[in-house]
Structure 1
């Protein structure tokens, strides 16, 4: 069994080109016994964004708090807590904080996607 508070998990600044004010935490993955997958928590500060990018693996997202926009293959969708999103492999995507508070979402990817 593995149980831990997100407050105790290392926060890593996302420094990829196009990223602005994004923190990543790897909550559960192979190191905790979940082979092949990783559940991450992203916190995007007001005015921040993830890079607009694509990759071969899919990911599943769940919005925890704040308000933002999910860009997916040329379309934008406003999201808020309780929304989920599926990004297929190869799709161009981006998460943008459009609100006044942190935009926080869970992102589950195959292990190779936790870079």
Structure 2
């Protein structure tokens, strides 16, 4: 598994570099799994890890989210509805619908894969249109 100069086609998510998760992720880490810099020119698949008590602030924007929980447990709010989530759960968030998610465990990380269009890989709280 040494470096042969070839493009890496397989690896562990945890080994990908952390990137700035923005102001909307409290107690969270973000890694880019696929995106314009890594095999997918039109979308970005991010891996979010929320530590116990971690939360993503409520926000809304003009793009959809495709979200899959791969470890841990938590809650996901879409509009006025709150859903229990855990490993193996998927969530679809329509555009312009306020949403948030948080870790409800006191001991385990909540880990998810969240995919958006490349325009959607931003810090939504930094957008001038507000949240």
Determine the C-alpha separation between the residues in 2 that align with 1:84 and 1:90: 19
- What is the match of residue 110 of structure 2? 103
- What is the match of residue 38 of structure 2? 32
Gaps of 5+ in 1: none
C-alpha offsets along residues 27-82 of structure 1, whole Å, 9 cap, x if unaligned?
11111221110111000000110011011100101000000000110110011111
- What is the match of residue 84 of structure 2? 78
Match among 65, 68, 73 for residue 74 of structure 2: 68
Inter-CA distance 45–87: structure 2 relative to 1 (3 Å threshold): same
Q: Which has the larger radius of gyration?
A: 2
- What is the match of residue 4 of structure 1? 11
Gaps of 5+ in 2: 1-6, 123-131
Determine the C-alpha separation between the residues in 2 that align with 1:22 and 1:29: 20
Say whether the 8 Å CA contact 1:62–1:105 is kept in structure 2: yes
State the secondary structure of the residue aligned to 1:112. Answer: helix
Which consecutive segments of 4 or more residues in structure 1 shift more than 4 A? none
CA RMSD of aligned residues (A): 1.4
Inter-CA distance 15–29: structure 2 relative to 1 (3 Å threshold): closer
State the secondary structure of the residue aligned to 2:14. Answer: helix
Residue 113 of structure 1 and its aligned partner are, at CA, apart by 0.8
